[in-house]
């Protein structure tokens, strides 16, 4: 971990960003936010208390934040716009911003982000399956997913690392071939479908003329290395061995990170708490150790915990005292409590 002190700021994030402006302008590599969603709901923290012998603990509910907007959608969008503009000024040129929302307003916030960050810098709309049991609806369909909008500050300068997830039954199915090196699947080396345009030259290689996707020299090298598979009708493919790839490359559809449930080890009682694994995926893919990660709607502090675990520096902010106290105690639980300062704005 670098010597930079991590920060918890208690107050409105607009004030927090003004406070950071002179020292941290264009210094953050990544900002992740999970702001209010215009859901019309009051949120709370549920804590268990009173576990005396032979007594079932009772639940205490503490108000955390309200996602109700007197001025309606326009007030909410103005609130987001002001804060997103301030966030942009803290990001490095190579940096990125990840905005976690759901169906209520993700489409409106996206157009605001197009204005602030530029449509050309939009990278992904990630879909995270956030529940296995959506509420039954009398009309339409139960919502099961959240949306994470990913924008680069300057797309050509932005880099991500490939992220892999573990194989599952379906992804293992194609690996149905075996040889003495192990289990493998077949990769096409001839143009298929739309790739098979008339302009693609065919050539003869080892007795078969086809619109190959690779040069003769590459095919020869693969042949020498015994990674070409020959079918019964003498059609060639490339072997991809299961042991050579770290898993399945993750797309923009994130189905493999389970939500926090009452029985989850990391459950803190904070109703909108996100899983550490989700934040680790975000941070790991777009930052390196020592980079600074910001979260200006920190809630229970998940971003700081994930960042700390993988040796990134972090700055988090929240308006709610209950959230600040919870984030601080979760950080103390992972022995990170002597690495940060807290500032009350």
Ligand X SMILES: C[S@@+](CC[C@H](N)C(=O)[O-])C[C@H]1O[C@@H](n2cnc3c(N)ncnc32)[C@H](O)[C@@H]1O
β-sheet bridge partners, residue 236: 230
Q: How far does Cα 75 stand from its chain's mean position?
A: 27
End-to-end CA distance of the chain: 26
> Least distance to ligand X from the beta carbon of 280, Å?
12
> Is residue 319 a contact point for ligand X (CB under 6 A)?
yes
Structure tokens at 237: 């493919």
Other Cβ atoms closer than 10 A to 328 = 18
> Is residue 36 a contact point for ligand X (CB under 6 A)?
yes
**From 30-38, 107-115, 134-142, 336-344, span contacting ligand X (CB under 6 A):** 30-38
> Is residue 297 a contact point for ligand X (CB under 6 A)?
yes
> Is residue 299 a contact point for ligand X (CB under 6 A)?
yes
> Is residue 323 a contact point for ligand X (CB under 6 A)?
yes
Applying CB under 6 A, among 6, 7, 28, 34 the residue interacting with ligand X is: 34
CB 294 within 8 A of CB 89: no
> Least distance to ligand X from the beta carbon of 38, Å?
12
List of E strands, 17-134: 28-33, 42-49, 58-66, 91-101, 122-129
- Look at residues 309, 295, 300 and name the one whose alpha carbon lies nearest to residue 329: 300
User: What's 10-29 look like in SS3?
Assistant: ECCHHHHHHHHHHHHCCCEE
Pick the closer one to ligand X by CB: 294 or 299. Answer: 299
Pick the closer one to ligand X by CB: 31 or 317. Answer: 317
CB 330 within 8 A of CB 305: yes
The pairing of strands 91-101 and 253-254 is unpaired
CB 151 within 8 A of CB 33: no
Pick the closer one to ligand X by CB: 287 or 319. Answer: 319
**From 111-119, 187-195, 199-207, 311-319, span contacting ligand X (CB under 6 A):** 311-319
Pattern of binders to ligand X over 189-228, x per CB under 6 A? ----------------------------------------
> Is residue 273 a contact point for ligand X (CB under 6 A)?
yes
Half-sphere exposure of 264 (CA within 13 A, CB side): 16
Structure tokens at 255: 């189905």
> Is residue 320 a contact point for ligand X (CB under 6 A)?
yes
Pick the closer one to ligand X by CB: 64 or 287. Answer: 64
> Is residue 38 a contact point for ligand X (CB under 6 A)?
no
Applying CB under 6 A, among 302, 307, 328, 330 the residue interacting with ligand X is: 302
Applying CB under 6 A, among 6, 96, 121, 272 the residue interacting with ligand X is: 272
Q: Where are the alpha helices (DSSP H) in 131-208?
A: 169-172
Positions that interact with ligand X (CB under 6 A)? 12-13, 34-36, 64-65, 270, 272-274, 296-297, 299-300, 302, 317-320, 323
């Amino acid at each position: 971990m670098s010597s930079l002190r991590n920060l918890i700021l208690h107050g409105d994030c607009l004030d927090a960003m003004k406070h950071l402006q002179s020292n941290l302008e264009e210094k953050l590599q990544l900002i992740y936010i999970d702001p209010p969603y215009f859901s019309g709901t009051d949120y709370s923290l549920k804590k268990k208390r009173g576990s005396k012998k032979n007594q079932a603990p009772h639940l205490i509910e503490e108000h955390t934040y309200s996602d109700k907007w007197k001025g309606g959608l326009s007030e909410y969008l103005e609130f987001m716009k002001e804060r997103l503009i301030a966030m942009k000024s803290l990001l490095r040129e190579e940096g990125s911003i990840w905005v976690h929302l759901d169906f209520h307003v993700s489409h409106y916030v996206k157009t605001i982000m197009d204005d602030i960050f530029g449509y050309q810098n939009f990278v992904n709309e990630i879909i995270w399956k956030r529940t296995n049991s959506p509420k039954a609806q009398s009309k339409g369909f139960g919502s099961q997913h959240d949306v994470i909008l990913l924008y680069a500050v300057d797309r050509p300068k932005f880099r991500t690392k490939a992220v892999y997830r573990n194989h599952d039954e379906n992804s293992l199915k194609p690996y149905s071939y075996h040889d003495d090196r192990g289990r493998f699947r077949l990769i096409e080396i001839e143009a298929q479908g739309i790739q098979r345009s008339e302009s693609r030259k065919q050539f003869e290689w080892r007795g078969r003329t086809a619109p190959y996707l690779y040069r003769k020299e590459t095919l020869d090298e693969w042949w020498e290395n015994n990674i070409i598979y020959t079918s019964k009708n003498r059609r060639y493919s490339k072997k991809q061995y299961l042991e050579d790839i770290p898993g399945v490359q993750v797309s923009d559809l994130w189905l493999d990170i389970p939500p926090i449930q009452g029985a989850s080890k990391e459950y803190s009682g904070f109703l909108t708490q996100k899983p550490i694994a989700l934040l680790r995926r975000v941070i790991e893919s777009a930052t390196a150790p020592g980079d600074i990660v910001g979260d200006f709607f920190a809630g229970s502090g998940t971003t700081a915990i994930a960042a700390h675990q993988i040796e990134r520096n972090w700055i988090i902010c929240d308006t709610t005292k209950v959230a600040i106290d919870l984030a601080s105690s979760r950080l103390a639980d992972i022995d990170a409590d002597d690495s940060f300062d807290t500032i009350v704005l």
